């Protein structure tokens, strides 16, 4: 990004790393958090993108901060749980179906499950993590995990779960609740990127988002999955976003 004359700013959602958890937070709350961060950094306008669970949080900024956000992109992002006409779990790996089912049952059910998942992954090799999430990983994602992304993933897990799994729990609960904003109000240029081989967040989510967001541009890749988008498509997304300036 520096070579393109841009600055990449990331932050940990509440409950991850050293960030304080905010129980019952909504996806929409990301807009206020982002605005506070940009205010503190003296940034007046910005483009935003998020992958997977970060996708709807980027879209929240696009919907709720139109005077600040120039353009937004969602990569392999989840659609609203109550999205009309969407079968939320069709094409999803069994691990995520179980996870969302437990989230629907309540915090007391999802929290111990995620604690066990985090314990299994901490200290694991990329190959071992691949086995933990085997039902979610299609061929492109296996290749991604076996490369530098897998090493990066294992290296950041101790930081991710430094304060426990509250952030992960709260994400799950936020995803099955109303997002807190209307996708139809997004007026800034928006890009939706998804892979047809995605078992974490099935491609139906991306296609639904592309229809729901007025004027959205959609890149649906037949040969991509979930993690592979992070490896292969992020530079292209950066180019698209910076092209909107």
Q: Hey, what domains does the chain have and what are their CATH numbers?
A: 2-79+90-242 (3.40.50.1820)
Structure tokens at 36: 């506070």
User: What is the pLDDT at residue 1?
Assistant: 60
Coil, helix or strand for 40?
A: helix
Burial classification of residue 18, based on how many CB atoms lie within 10 Å of its CB (0-12 exposed, 13-18 middle, 19 or more buried): exposed
For the question of whether the overall pTM of this predicted structure is more than 0.85, the answer is yes
Long-range contacts of 19-23 (CB under 8 A, 24+ apart): 19/163, 19/167, 21/163, 21/166, 21/167, 21/170, 22/170, 23/166, 23/170
User: What is the pLDDT at residue 5?
Assistant: 75
User: What is the pLDDT at residue 2?
Assistant: 65
Contacts of 13 (CB under 8 A, 6+ apart): 19, 30, 33, 57, 167, 171
DSSP-derived letter for residue 202 is -
User: What is the pLDDT at residue 39?
Assistant: 95
Strand 69-75 and strand 217-221: the pairing is unpaired
Q: How far is CA 224 from CA 90, 106, 133, in A?
A: 17, 33, 18
User: What is the pLDDT at residue 87?
Assistant: 97
Mean pLDDT by 10-residue block, N- to C-terminus, for the chain (245 residues)?
Answer: 79 94 96 96 95 97 97 98 96 96 96 94 91 94 94 93 95 97 97 98 98 97 96 94 93
């Amino acid at each position: 990004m520096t070579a393109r004359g841009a600055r990449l700013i990331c932050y940990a959602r509440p409950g991850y790393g050293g960030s304080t958890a905010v129980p019952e937070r909504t996806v929409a709350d990301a807009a206020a958090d982002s605005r506070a961060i940009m205010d503190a950094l003296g940034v007046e306008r910005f483009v935003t993108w998020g992958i997977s669970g970060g996708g709807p949080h980027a879209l929240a900024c696009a919907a709720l901060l139109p005077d600040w956000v120039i353009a937004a992109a969602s990569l392999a992002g989840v659609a609203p749980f109550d999205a009309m006409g969407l079968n939320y779990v069709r094409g999803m790996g069994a691990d995520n179906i179980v996870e969302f089912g437990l989230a629907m049952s309540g915090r007391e059910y999802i929290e111990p499950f995620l604690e066990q998942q985090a314990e299994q992954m901490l200290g694991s090799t990329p190959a071992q993590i691949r086995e933990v999430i085997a039902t979610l990983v299609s061929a492109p994602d296996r290749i991604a995990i076996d490369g530098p992304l897998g090493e990066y993933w294992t290296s950041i897990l101790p930081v991710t779960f430094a304060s426990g799994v509250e952030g992960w729990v709260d994400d799950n609960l936020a995803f099955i609740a109303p997002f807190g904003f209307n996708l139809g109000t997004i007026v800034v240029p928006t890009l939706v990127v998804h892979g047809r081989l995605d078992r974490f967040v099935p491609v139906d989510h991306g296609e639904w988002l592309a229809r729901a967001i007025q004027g959205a541009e959609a890149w649906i890749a037949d040969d991509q999955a979930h993690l592979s988008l992070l490896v292969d498509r992020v530079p292209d997304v950066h180019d698209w976003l910076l092209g909107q300036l």
